[in-house]
């Protein structure tokens, strides 16, 4: 549901919303279609502002219709388009409005401040929402692009989406009938040597269909030829535009260059267009994907990223059932691999933004509340002003001003305020958006698409106009209020109307702020719960870095192991380093590769039972360095080397999965399902570590010392971890120097402390991001509410000066007056609170998926939020009430006589 | 003000309808005005002007069913009433008389 179609639907809905206030259904449909047609015309005529013009036209509609209605519309004087005299009147009206607003600074400033804050916040969040969720993916017909996963259904509770095995991909691509093409790619970090310097380059291996499928071709040179997708001819490269610019200065002569890539000399044949990305990843180098004979038979290893383009008119659901059919067809002959496995098709855009959607929608809803609060505040201030200037209005009407004329003036004032407040708000939003992006978790997809674009500007403008128009024109009963006023500010009717509205204002503000406070509070408490989770390791004073060995010279574990040992020794020699270790999968950061295991002496299990778990290849000293607890048996030591009996350590979840509660796994033996000849003795059990995320329960894992691995194994990118007794800045340079001395193509990069990795891990970063923004909104809401309540009570007491004066002169004490006012206000606050808490509960249920460690009915949060709002309202009430208590009864009675 | 005075924009809209003939619904009117005057025209301005002209009996409108072609929609098509034609003719005559004998300004 993305793309121009979705944009059109959104526009139609918006237009219906705006026009619905003024036009009947048939007329509304006409105008909506007109606007859409005009936009299409302008767009096809090459206008870049067609979208903006659409917004502008839409926004002008209510204004034009209102003016027309006010003026009665039968005379040519209403026609001010292109007529000098008409424009002159307009200019005069505007000047007059500016003068009036400047004469009443407290009103103007209150409205402008409210508008700036609410519009700034709303626009910043909307720009994030627009960039991530609304804007279509930058590929042609993005609604037809899908991502396809293999689904592991053996774990009963979750649908585990996985990359795809090569043989399965081949079968799907050949046997499906719903896709016009399917493509596969695989991405990792490779080593390139350019001008004698080795560097790490993210590379994508792609099948022939990928570029056509996403509609991209070379901007320089050419794409890969069909023959280059055959084994033996595939040593060619394409570069990303950005890499070409960054590394080769945009020199077209790059096409004559040959780059040493993972040990092979490969010519550069082309450059891809600027900004071309797939899956949010910066992939610098692209090369053809060819599959070996053995890979084409492989259904066991899942590592392909698979994309598809739906045939025109085919839905995702149809493609899903088509591929289900294909999987059912191939399952009987491949039961060993496919039992318990299925397939999942989803829109590429949903795949990319999926995780961010709920958080963004929650924030948008929250910001919507802030907007409503802003509108309520503007209404309250404006109503107050209307009442204050009622006398003035009466005089003007008496000397002949029509009601339309007065309303028009008010309208012009409102539009002026809206435009000014909107403009300042947009400025604030630009700054806030930048801040938002820099604070956003790195897992936020499409962050580069976030920005203030015409759609966002139009949104801000529309929101400010609507806010002010609601605030000024559409005060319910506004006309009646004005009528009531004509009697006098003291009349009973008017003060009743007045008080009812003030009560509604106060009550709704309280309700909205409680909702926001509860929502923010729940997130903040989730964050603290999350940070309190024991990750299973000690993050403090631990430094980590990545090590990448050139694949050509170090192609298997026996050749890689000694190099890693040497680097480990160089780290251990650094003063201040108390322990150091190496692993291939760092917790919270790396996705584990899983391999099926078999415990010796246990029956072979059914194929649909899950028994593939993370295989961690580590050095002796890794557990100690990470502060992982050895629960029973022992950790690895230097004696566990090649030629010695093979050993393994497993974690507690692994023990739960494979052994009974009273069974001691130490001494038992296991092997990889695929390698029965290499049998490991389990020598120890370590405590679980949160591998995937702090909010995901740990799963089974086993650890093997890489020093004992045969040439069947390959270690891949590793992580060196060092525990520092004292702060040391020498560690990384020393390891780097040692690496260079061993081989100039060994890369040491990405140095970061483990503590930073924990705070930046996706669950923590997301929760922190959302809770921080919600806290800001809640604070804004609280301040707006305090201002609103304070203002209302001030008005209230001013109105009732006479009544208070009489009561004081009849013997009431000042404290009695104060108590009376506070009680009266308190009743409204309690009412608002009750509604707000109900609303908060409904809202919290929506966000419950984002909570951690607490429920959406967490009593502490609700209580604190209520206390905070009540306290704020109390203080806001007390000040004007105390002032009222000091009223001089004689003065009041004399002046109002 | 009487029924015989045309505002500047009303005048322009009437001429646009005259020019467009049977195709005169709001979108072509907006585009026609923009093309001829070189100024941007708001759809809302055209909309309220058409309504006003209709109220004054200078134009009439009817809803035309969607054309057979795909993506068509109902259109509200406007046509000039005799009174409008008379008013346009009269206005043109008045202007011609006013300009008669004066040097032409824009070609100076």
Q: What is the mean pLDDT of residues A11-15?
A: 78
Contacting A residues, span 76-95, partner chain B, CB-CB under 8 Å? 76-83, 86
Adjacent-strand bridge partners of B60:
B79
Would you say residue A270 has pLDDT above 80? yes
Residue A407 and residue A396 in contact, taking contact as beta carbons nearer than 8 Å: no
Q: What is the dihedral of CA A187, A188, A189, A195, to 10 degrees?
A: -40
CB contact (8 A) between residue A81 and residue B45: yes
CA distance A165 to A335: 14
Q: Which of B49, B74, B76 sits opposite A79 (nearest CB)?
A: B49
Identify the helix (H) or strand (E) that includes residue A193. strand A179-194
The pLDDT of residue A488 is: 43
Q: Which of A29, A34, A76 sits opposite B7 (nearest CB)?
A: A76
Per-residue DSSP letter, A594: E
CA distance A353 to A350: 5
The pLDDT of residue A572 is: 92
Neighbour tally for B4: CB within 10 Å? 11
Neighbour tally for A644: CB within 10 Å? 11
The pLDDT of residue A6 is: 54
Q: Assign residue A279 a region: left if phi > 0, alpha if psi is -120 to 50, beta otherwise?
A: left
Residues of chain A neighbouring B74 (CB-CB closer than 8 A): 29-30, 33
CA distance A612 to A618: 18
Nearest in space to A10 (alpha carbons), one of A461, A469, A458: A458
The pLDDT of residue B70 is: 55
> Which range (A245-249, A409-413, A562-566, A653-657) has the least confidence?
A409-413
Residues of chain A neighbouring B30 (CB-CB closer than 8 A): 38
The pLDDT of residue A194 is: 84
Residues of chain A neighbouring B32 (CB-CB closer than 8 A): none
Query: Confidence class of residue A78 from pLDDT cuts 50, 70 and 90?
Result: very low
Hey, which of A261-265, A587-591, A865-869 has the most confident mean pLDDT?
A865-869
Query: Confidence class of residue A7 from pLDDT cuts 50, 70 and 90?
Result: low
Would you say residue A2 has pLDDT above 70? no
Residue pLDDT, tens place only, A243-253: 999 888 889 89
Query: Confidence class of residue A586 from pLDDT cuts 50, 70 and 90?
Result: very high
The pLDDT of residue A890 is: 77
- Residue from A76, A80, A85 to probe the interface with B (highest B Cβ count within 10 Å): A76
Q: Which of A56, A60, A73 sits opposite B52 (nearest CB)?
A: A73
Identify the helix (H) or strand (E) that includes residue A543. strand A542-548
Residues of chain B neighbouring A55 (CB-CB closer than 8 A): none
Task: For strands A647-651 and A675-686, give the pairing.
Answer: parallel
Q: Please indicate whether residue A76 or residue A801 has the higher confidence score (pLDDT).
A: A801
DSSP A615-684: EEEE-TTHHHHHTPPEEEE----TT--TTSPPEEEEEHHHHHHHS-TT---TT-EEEETTEEEEEEEEEE
Q: Please indicate whether residue A15 or residue A704 has the higher confidence score (pLDDT).
A: A704
Taking CA atoms, A304 is separated from A307, A338, A394, A884, in Å, by: 10, 16, 77, 74
Query: Confidence class of residue A22 from pLDDT cuts 50, 70 and 90?
Result: confident
Residues of chain B neighbouring A79 (CB-CB closer than 8 A): 7-10, 49, 52
Q: Six-digit token pair at A532?
A: 């309190």
Q: Assign residue A182 a region: left if phi > 0, alpha if psi is -120 to 50, beta otherwise?
A: beta
- HSE-CB for A399 with a 13 A CA cutoff: 5
Q: Please give, rounded to a whole number of angstroms, the shortest distance from the CA of A65 to a CA of chain B.
A: 7
Nearest CA in chain B to A39: B27
Q: Please give, rounded to a whole number of angstroms, the shortest distance from the CA of B95 to a CA of chain A.
A: 16
Q: Please give, rounded to a whole number of angstroms, the shortest distance from the CA of A141 to a CA of chain B.
A: 19
Residue pLDDT, tens place only, A357-370: 888 888 888 888 88
Q: Consecutive 10-residue runs of chain B (108 residues): their mean pLDDT?
A: 69 92 90 88 89 90 76 84 90 87 65
CB contact (8 A) between residue A83 and residue B52: no
Q: Six-digit token pair at A564?
A: 């890693």
The pLDDT of residue A449 is: 72
Label each residue of B5-70 as H, E or C.
CCCHHHHHHHHHHHHHHHHCCHHHHHHHHHHHHCCCCCHHHHHHHHHHHHHCCCEEEEEECCCCCC
Average pLDDT, chain A: 83
CB contact (8 A) between residue A64 and residue B44: yes
Residues of chain A neighbouring B43 (CB-CB closer than 8 A): 31, 34-35, 38, 57, 60-61
Label each residue of A96-115 as H, E or C.
HHHHHHHHCHHHHHHHHHHH
Query: Confidence class of residue A280 from pLDDT cuts 50, 70 and 90?
Result: low
CA distance B39 to A46: 17
Q: What is the mean pLDDT of residues A285-297?
A: 89
The pLDDT of residue B105 is: 67
Q: Six-digit token pair at A645?
A: 């009996």
Q: Please give, rounded to a whole number of angstroms, the shortest distance from the CA of A5 to a CA of chain B.
A: 13
Give B18's contacts (C-beta < 8 A, 6+ positions apart).
Answer: B80, B85, B88
The pLDDT of residue A491 is: 47
Cα A450 from chain centre? 11
Would you say residue A36 has pLDDT above 80? yes
Q: Please give, rounded to a whole number of angstroms, the shortest distance from the CA of A535 to a CA of chain B.
A: 58
Q: Please give, rounded to a whole number of angstroms, the shortest distance from the CA of A21 to a CA of chain B.
A: 15
pTM of the model: 0.67
Please report where in the chains the tokens 């009412």 appear, as a residue: A831
Q: Which of B8, B56, B75 sits opposite A83 (nearest CB)?
A: B8
Please report where in the chains the tokens 């011609």 appear, as a residue: B96
Residue A29 and residue B74 in contact, taking contact as beta carbons nearer than 8 Å: yes
Contacting A residues, span 47-76, partner chain B, CB-CB under 8 Å? 53, 56-57, 60-61, 63-65, 67-68, 73-76
Would you say residue A472 has pLDDT above 70? no
Would you say residue A489 has pLDDT above 50? no
Q: Please give, rounded to a whole number of angstroms, the shortest distance from the CA of B102 to a CA of chain A.
A: 22
CB contact (8 A) between residue A68 and residue B52: yes
Phi, psi of A749 (to 5 degrees): -150, 180
Give A739's contacts (C-beta < 8 A, 6+ positions apart).
Answer: A547, A567, A570, A746, A747, A748
Query: Confidence class of residue A324 from pLDDT cuts 50, 70 and 90?
Result: very high
Q: Which of B10, B44, B63 sits opposite A61 (nearest CB)?
A: B44
Phi, psi of A192 (to 5 degrees): -115, 145
Q: Please indicate whether residue A286 or residue A470 has the higher confidence score (pLDDT).
A: A286
Q: Please indicate whether residue A313 or residue A452 has the higher confidence score (pLDDT).
A: A313
Decide if B69 touches A, using CB distance below 8 A: no
Q: Six-digit token pair at A18?
A: 């705006």
Nearest in space to A473 (alpha carbons), one of A389, A412, A390: A412
Q: Please indicate whether residue A155 or residue A97 has the higher confidence score (pLDDT).
A: A97
Q: Six-digit token pair at A565?
A: 């040992």
Would you say residue A504 has pLDDT above 60? yes
Nearest in space to A425 (alpha carbons), one of A446, A385, A394, A456: A456
Decide if A674 touches B, using CB distance below 8 A: no
Adjacent-strand bridge partners of A206:
A185, A288
């Amino acid at each position: 549901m993305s793309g121009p179609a979705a944009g059109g639907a959104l526009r139609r809905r918006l237009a219906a919303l705006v026009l619905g206030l003024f036009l009947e259904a048939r007329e509304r449909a006409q105008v909506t279609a007109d606007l859409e047609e005009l936009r299409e015309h302008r767009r096809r005529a090459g206008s870049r502002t067609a979208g903006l013009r659409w917004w502008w036209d839409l926004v002008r509609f209510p204004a034009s219709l209102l003016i027309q209605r006010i003026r009665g519309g039968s005379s040519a004087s209403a026609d001010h388009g292109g007529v000098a005299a008409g424009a002159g009147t307009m200019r005069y009206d505007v000047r007059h409005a500016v003068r009036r607003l400047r004469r009443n600074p407290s009103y103007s400033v209150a409205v402008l401040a409210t508008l700036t804050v609410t519009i700034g916040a709303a626009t910043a969040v909307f720009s994030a929402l627009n960039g991530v969720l609304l804007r279509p993916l930058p590929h042609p017909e993005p609604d037809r692009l899908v991502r396809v996963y293999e689904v592991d259904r053996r774990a009963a509770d979750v649908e585990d989406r996985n990359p795809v095995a090569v043989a399965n991909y081949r079968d799907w691509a050949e046997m499906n009938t719903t896709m016009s093409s399917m493509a596969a790619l695989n991405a990792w970090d490779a080593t390139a040597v350019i001008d004698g310097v080795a560097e790490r380059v993210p590379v994508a291996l792609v099948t022939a269909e990928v570029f056509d499928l996403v509609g991209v071709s070379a901007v320089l040179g050419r794409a890969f030829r069909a023959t280059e997708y055959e084994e033996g001819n595939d040593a060619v490269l394409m570069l990303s535009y950005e890499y070409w610019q960054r590394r080769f200065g945009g020199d077209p002569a790059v096409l004559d260059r040959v780059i040493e890539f993972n040990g092979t000399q490969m010519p550069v044949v082309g450059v891809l267009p600027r900004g071309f990305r797939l899956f949010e990843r910066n992939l610098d180098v692209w090369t053809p994907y060819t599959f070996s004979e053995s890979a084409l038979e492989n259904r066991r290893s899942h590592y392909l990223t698979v994309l598809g383009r739906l045939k025109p008119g085919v839905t995702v659901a149809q493609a899903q059932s088509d591929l289900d059919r294909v999987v059912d067809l191939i399952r009987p002959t491949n039961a060993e691999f496919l039992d318990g496995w299925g397939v999942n098709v989803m829109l590429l855009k949903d795949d990319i933004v999926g995780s961010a959607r709920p958080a963004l929608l929650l924030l948008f809803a929250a910001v919507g509340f802030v907007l409503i609060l802003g509108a309520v505040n503007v209404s309250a201030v404006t109503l107050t002003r209307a009442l204050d200037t009622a006398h003035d209005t009466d005089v003007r009407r008496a000397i002949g001003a029509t009601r339309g004329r007065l309303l028009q003036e008010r309208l012009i004032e409102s539009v002026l305020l809206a435009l000014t407040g909107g403009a300042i708000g947009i400025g604030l939003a630009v700054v806030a958006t930048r801040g938002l992006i820099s604070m956003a978790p790195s897992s936020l997809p499409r962050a580069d698409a976030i920005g203030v674009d015409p759609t966002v500007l139009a949104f801000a403008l529309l929101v400010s106009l609507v806010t002010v128009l609601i605030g000024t024109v559409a005060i319910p009963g506004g006309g009646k209020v004005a009528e009531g006023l004509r009697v006098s500010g003291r009349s009973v009717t008017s003060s009743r109307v007045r008080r009812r509205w003030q009560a509604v204002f106060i009550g709704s503000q309280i309700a909205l702020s409680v909702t926001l406070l509860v929502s923010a509070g729940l997130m903040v408490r989730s964050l603290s719960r999350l940070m309190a989770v024991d990750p299973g390791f000690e993050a403090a004073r631990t430094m980590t870095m990545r090590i990448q060995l050139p694949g050509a010279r170090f192609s298997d574990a026996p050749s890689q192991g000694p190099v890693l040992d040497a680097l480990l020794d160089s780290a251990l020699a650094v003063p201040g380093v108390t322990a150091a270790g190496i692993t291939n999968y760092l917790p919270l950061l790396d996705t584990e590769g899983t391999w099926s295991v078999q415990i010796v002496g246990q029956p072979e299990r059914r194929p649909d039972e899950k028994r593939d778990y993370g295989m961690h290849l580590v050095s002796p000293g890794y557990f100690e360095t990470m502060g992982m607890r050895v629960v029973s048996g022992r950790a690895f030591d230097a004696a566990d080397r090649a030629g010695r009996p093979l050993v393994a350590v497993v974690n507690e979840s692994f023990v739960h999965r494979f052994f009974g509660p009273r069974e001691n796994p130490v001494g038992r033996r296991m092997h990889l399902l695929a390698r029965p000849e290499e049998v490991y003795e389990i020598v120890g059990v370590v405590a679980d570590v949160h591998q995937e995320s702090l909010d995901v329960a740990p799963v089974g894992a086993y650890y093997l010392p890489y020093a004992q691995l045969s040439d069947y194994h390959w270690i891949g990118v590793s992580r060196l971890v060092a525990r520092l007794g004292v702060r040391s800045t020498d560690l990384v340079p020393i390891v780097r120097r040692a690496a260079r001395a061993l081989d100039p193509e060994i890369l040491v990069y990405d140095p970061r402390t483990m503590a930073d990795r924990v705070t930046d891990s996706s669950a923590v970063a997301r929760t922190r991001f959302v809770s921080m923004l919600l806290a800001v909104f809640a604070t804004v809401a609280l301040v707006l509410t305090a201002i609103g309540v304070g203002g209302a009570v001030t008005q209230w007491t001013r109105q009732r000066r006479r009544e208070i004066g009489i009561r004081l002169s009849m013997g009431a004490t000042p404290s009695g007056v104060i108590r009376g006012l506070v009680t009266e206000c308190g009743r409204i606050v309690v009412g608002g609170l009750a509604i707000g808490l109900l609303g908060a509960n409904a809202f919290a249920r929506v966000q419950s998926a984002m909570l951690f460690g607490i429920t959406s009915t967490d009593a502490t949060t609700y209580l604190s939020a209520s206390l905070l709002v009540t306290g704020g309202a109390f203080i806001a009430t007390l000040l004007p009430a105390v002032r009222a208590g000091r009223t001089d009864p004689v003065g009041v009675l004399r002046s109002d006589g | 003000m009487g029924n015989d005075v045309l505002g500047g924009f009303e005048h322009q809209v009437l001429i646009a309808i005259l020019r467009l003939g049977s195709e005169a619904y709001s979108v072509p009117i907006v585009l026609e005005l923009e093309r001829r005057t070189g100024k941007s025209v708001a759809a809302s301005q055209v909309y309220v002007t058409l309504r006003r002209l209709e109220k004054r009996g200078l134009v009439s409108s009817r809803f035309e069913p969607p054309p057979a072609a795909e993506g068509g929609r109902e259109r509200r098509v406007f046509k000039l009433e005799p009174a409008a034609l008379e008013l346009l003719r009269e206005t043109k005559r008045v202007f011609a008389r006013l300009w008669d004998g004066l040097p032409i300004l824009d070609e100076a």
